[in-house]
């Protein structure tokens, strides 16, 4: 536990930024955990798996708190969330199991490519224009499976994909955000199960591991992130959030590129 201070710092940073900028914590957390796990000497072939699995597990805790808050304010369209949930579970679980077979380096390349997409999206902060209505049950299952699969490989709650999709389908912004929060829990739960199940088959994992989830990091990141999120949310009304989002988008990309460079 000599790295306890690093896990607390990661949790504090992730919770604060989530409250301040409205971002999901998973994609921020993965590069930070990657650096710590590298310094701790985790098996090189499983560095990305541990970073993704541990970050995914933390999202399960933070998303549960988030969806309760949105539900209290009647911001969740549960009809849409329930229709998307089966596809989300299938996509998220399946992608996590597949990711366990992918070596660290190509997994990091895929992660960095989507980090670039998320950074550009945050930098320009464009709002999708409604162009159609919501698809039927089969369409929502398929969309949910796609969102779950991508989010599981990125250790993200899926809001960066769910919200634009719902906005294009003429769902109001408030309901889109709340419904995306509701989607985050099945993504995180199924993705975590996949990383745990696959990791249990891997030999010589560090003490304190449950599959590809490193439990000491999980506990300390969650403990630090939950109390810092409300502070970030309060400061969001006082600070130039638009300018901070631009700066943060560039920092996010730099973190991902640095993580990728460490593998070569």
In this predicted model, what pLDDT tens digit does every residue of 187-235 receive, in sequence order? 989 999 999 999 998 888 999 999 999 999 999 999 988 887 777 666 7
Phi and psi at residue 55, to the nearest 5°:
-65, -40
Length of the chain: 264
24-35 per-position pLDDT tens digit: 667 788 889 999
Q: Is the pLDDT confidence value at 236 over 60? A: no
pTM of the model: 0.87
In terms of residue numbers, what domain contains 81?
A: 4-261
Residue among 119, 248, 241, 183 nearest 175 (CA): 183
- Other Cβ atoms less than 10 A from the Cβ of 5: the count is 10
Q: How far is 162 from 151, CA to CA, in rounded Å?
A: 10
Reduced to 3 states (helix: H, G, I; strand: E, B; else coil), residue 126 is coil
Q: How far is 44 from 48, CA to CA, in rounded Å?
A: 8
Q: Is the pLDDT confidence value at 149 over 60? A: yes
> Structurally, how many domains does the chain consist of?
1
């Amino acid at each position: 536990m000599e790295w306890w201070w690093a896990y607390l710092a990661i949790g504090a940073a992730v919770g604060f930024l989530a409250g301040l900028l409205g971002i999901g914590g998973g994609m921020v957390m993965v590069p930070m955990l990657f650096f710590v796990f590298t310094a701790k000497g985790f098996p090189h072939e499983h560095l990305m798996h541990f970073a993704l699995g541990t970050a995914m597990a933390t999202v399960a805790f933070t998303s549960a708190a988030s969806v309760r808050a949105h539900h209290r304010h009647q911001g969740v369209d549960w009809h849409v969330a329930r229709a998307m949930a089966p596809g989300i579970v299938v996509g998220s679980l399946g992608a996590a199991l597949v990711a366990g077979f992918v070596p660290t380096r190509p997994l990091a390349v895929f992660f960095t490519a989507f980090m670039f997409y998320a950074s550009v999206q945050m930098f320009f902060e464009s709002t999708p224009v409604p162009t159609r209505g919501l698809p039927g049950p089969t369409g929502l299952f398929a969309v949910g499976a796609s969102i779950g699969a991508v989010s599981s490989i990125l250790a993200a709650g899926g809001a960066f994909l769910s919200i634009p999709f719902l906005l294009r389908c003429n769902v109001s912004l408030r309901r889109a955000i709340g419904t995306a929060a509701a989607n985050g829990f099945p993504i995180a739960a199924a993705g975590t199960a996949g990383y745990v199940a696959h990791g249990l088959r891997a030999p010589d994992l560090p003490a304190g591991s449950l599959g590809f989830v490193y439990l000491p990091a999980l506990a300390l990141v969650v403990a630090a992130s939950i109390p810092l999120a409300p502070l970030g949310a309060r400061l969001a009304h006082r600070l130039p959030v638009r300018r901070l989002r631009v700066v943060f988008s560039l920092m996010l990309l730099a973190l991902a590129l640095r993580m990728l460079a460490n593998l070569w």
